[in-house]
């Protein structure tokens, strides 16, 4: 694979400053790359996710592809928030811009604001999809697989919810520090309920944790989980529409992250969830 001349940018997303939040590699201004080559480059950078965008915006619309170390994703949150900041830096001319991002799964609307030496960005996730609610016996199995027990659990069942990626939201009131994936077949457990990943959520402190499905790598800040988490909290009566709130993540891996959420609802039905965060540029890279 010829990599000479490929440009990449390192940014920190959902970050209060550089070297906090969730790191992201943005690949841009490159010759044609196959899906397999994008996967190899993502593995080279060893970030939780990377995003590839090639075309100069026309009418503020671009196509993008998102990869983890293992696979291409239909959707992911922190790469899109980071992408909005990148597009604003390279092509923006005003304090505020809107961008339409074409993904494999559909389109996402992003908004970016210049804040001096960093950017604030947000994405509209639309209405959540409520997929399944676990039975008490099923909940016990999930808790055990996550190194948790009934004493840690909140008085509400885990639920699979999607705003682009389906997450199994596991609500707890304690024990989030000890949570981990300790079973080898966790992905098959998630598949049983229609979930792609798990998100352990402390419903008292609004702190979350998630991992790759082998439990080897903990994600630092997960924008794609913030939408389902927000929908879960609203359904449980723990947050109100039109009132911003914050989900924290990354404390246990030394990268504190702040995910801001704003939820719109018609009566008791959520019709749009907006996830926002700050983005700080760390480095520009040119491959040799």
* pLDDT tens-place string over residues 155-180: 999 999 999 999 999 999 999 999 99
Residue 145 is predicted with a pLDDT of 98
Question: Using CA atoms, how far apart are residues 68 and 88, in angstroms rounded to an integer?
Answer: 24
| Model pLDDT, residue 264 | 95
What pLDDT is stored for residue 168 in this prediction?
Answer: 98
**Residue 156 CB coordination number (10 Å):** 16
Average per-residue pLDDT for the chain = 94
pLDDT at 161: 98
pLDDT at 32 over 90: no
Residue 36: is its pLDDT beyond 80? yes
Kindly report the backbone phi and psi dihedral angles of residue 136, in degrees, each rounded to the nearest multiple of 5, phi listed first: -55, -45
The pLDDT > 70 percentage for the chain reads: 100
Q: Are 13 and 82 in contact (CB under 8 A)?
A: yes
pLDDT of residue 82: 98
> With 90 as the cut, is the pLDDT of residue 206 above it?
yes
Residue 146: both structure tokens together: 């996550």
Model pLDDT for residues 222-264, shown as the tens digit of each residue: 999 999 999 999 999 999 999 999 999 999 999 999 999 999 9
**Does residue 43 carry a pLDDT above 80?**
yes
The model's pTM is 0.92
Residue 154: pLDDT band with limits 50, 70, 90: very high
CA distance 146 to 134: 15
pLDDT-based confidence at residue 3 (cuts at 50, 70, 90): confident
Report pLDDT for 5. Answer: 84
Percent residues over pLDDT 90 in the chain: 88
Decide if 255 contacts 13 (C-beta within 8 A).
no
Alpha helices of the chain — where are they, by DSSP H? 35-45, 77-91, 136-145, 186-192, 223-235
Query: Which range (79-83, 91-95, 112-116, 268-272) has the least confidence?
Result: 268-272
Q: Answer yes or no: is pLDDT of 57 > 80.
A: no
- Whether residue 247 contacts residue 226, with contact meaning beta carbons closer than 8 Å, is answered with yes
CB-neighbour burial class of residue 252 (10 A; exposed 0-12, middle 13-18, buried 19+):
middle
Q: What pLDDT does 105 receive?
A: 83
Structure tokens, 155: 């008085």
Q: What residues pair up with 237 in beta bridges, in sequence order?
A: none
Report whether pLDDT(94) > 80: yes
What pLDDT score does 96 carry? 97
Q: Which domains does the chain have, with CATH numbers?
A: 7-125+277-286 (3.10.310.10), 129-276 (3.10.310.10)
Closest CA to 130 of 94, 100, 169: 169
DSSP string, 59-116: TTEEEEEEEESS-EES--HHHHHHHHHHHHHHH--SSEEEEEEEETTEEEEEEEEE-S
**CB 242, CB 210: distance < 8 Å:** no
The CA-atom distances, in angstroms, between 201 and each of 113, 168, 249, 253 are: 29, 10, 10, 16
State residue 66's pLDDT score.
96
Coil, strand or helix at 157: coil
Give me the pLDDT at residue 268, please: 82
Average pLDDT score over residue span 36-46: 94
Hey, CA dihedral for 31, 106, 51, 120, is it positive or negative?
positive
User: Residues 255-278: pLDDT tens digits?
Assistant: 999 999 999 998 788 999 999 999
Question: What values do phi and psi take at 93, rounded to 5?
Answer: -130, -5
Neighbours of 284 (CB within 10 A): 10
Bridge partners for 61 per DSSP = 58, 100
């Amino acid at each position: 694979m010829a990599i000479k001349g490929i440009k990449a940018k390192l940014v920190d997303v959902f970050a209060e400053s550089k070297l906090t939040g969730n790191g992201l590699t943005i690949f841009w201004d490159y010759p044609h790359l196959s899906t397999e080559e994008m996967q190899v480059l993502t593995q080279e950078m060893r970030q939780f996710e990377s995003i590839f965008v090639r075309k100069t915006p026309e009418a503020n619309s671009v196509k993008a592809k998102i990869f983890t170390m293992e696979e291409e994703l239909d959707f992911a949150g922190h790469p899109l928030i980071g992408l909005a900041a990148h597009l604003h830096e390279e092509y923006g001319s005003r304090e505020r811009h809107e961008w339409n991002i074409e993904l494999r799964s559909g389109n996402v609307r992003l908004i970016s604001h210049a804040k001096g030496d960093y950017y604030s960005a947000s994405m509209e996730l639309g209405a959540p999809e409520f997929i399944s609610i676990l039975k008490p016996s099923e909940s016990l199995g999930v808790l055990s697989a996550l190194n948790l027990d009934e004493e840690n659990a909140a008085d509400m069942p885990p639920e699979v919810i999607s705003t682009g990626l389906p997450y199994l939201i596991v609500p707890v009131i304690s024990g989030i520090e000890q949570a981990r994936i300790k079973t080898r077949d966790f992905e098959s457990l998630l598949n049983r309920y229609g979930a792609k990943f798990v998100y352990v959520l402390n419903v008292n402190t609004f702190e979350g944790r998630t991992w790759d499905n082998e439990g080897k790598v903990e994600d630092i800040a997960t924008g794609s989980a913030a939408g389902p988490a927000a929908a879960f909290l609203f359904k449980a009566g723990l947050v109100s529409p039109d009132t911003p709130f914050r989900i924290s993540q990354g404390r246990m891996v030394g990268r504190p992250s702040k995910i801001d959420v704003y939820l719109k609802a018609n009566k008791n039905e959520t019709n749009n969830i907006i996830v926002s965060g700050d983005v700080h540029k760390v480095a520009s890279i040119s491959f040799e």
